[in-house]
Amino acid sequence: MDFYEPGRQSNWRQVIEIDRRLRIIHFYPNRNQDGLILREERFGEKTLEFYDQRDKDRVIYRSIRYTKHGEASHKNYSFQDNNVGEAIITKMTQKMSLNPYLPADQQIAKMVVDFHKQTGTIYLANFRS
């Protein structure tokens, strides 16, 4: 576990790495205007990002699930991962907070794109998960 002082070029507050399987990076909230406060990388499996104070798009969470090259057939969704080499995206999820000034049933709460199932789903704020 490493701690970093405010104002450093990386803008990391804390980095935790466990056996080259998991890396958790806590960011200083004022590091950038994108609102990223936490990034969790589960090597060879998924990457999660958590956000705060994104009033324009209201994103609070993003997740990208992927598999190692050769385990999926969607070559169009491949990328070069620094930890596992070539990887293929299988699913993406994004969650948004609600705008208190708009009706809840007219707001998107969650979007899911599943490349393995070839589906995309948008959930309005009144959905039950």
Tokens 């992927």 appear where?
66
Residue 61 β-bridge partners: 50, 95
DSSP string covering the chain: -EE--TT-TT-EEEEEEETTTEEEEEE-TTS-TT-EEEEEEETTTEEEEEE---TTT-EEEEEEEEEETTS-S-GGGEEEETTTEEEEEEEEEEEEPPPTTS-GGGSEEEEEEETTTTEEEEEETT---
Does 7 have pLDDT greater than 80?
A: no
CA distance 110 to 127: 9
- For the chain, what are the domain ranges? 2-66+93-124
Q: pLDDT band at residue 115, thresholds of 50, 70 and 90? A: confident
User: Which pLDDT value is given to residue 5?
Assistant: 58
Q: pLDDT band at residue 95, thresholds of 50, 70 and 90? A: very high
**pLDDT (tens digit, 9 = 90+) per residue, 41-73?**
999 899 999 999 888 889 999 999 998 766 555
Q: pLDDT band at residue 124, thresholds of 50, 70 and 90? A: confident
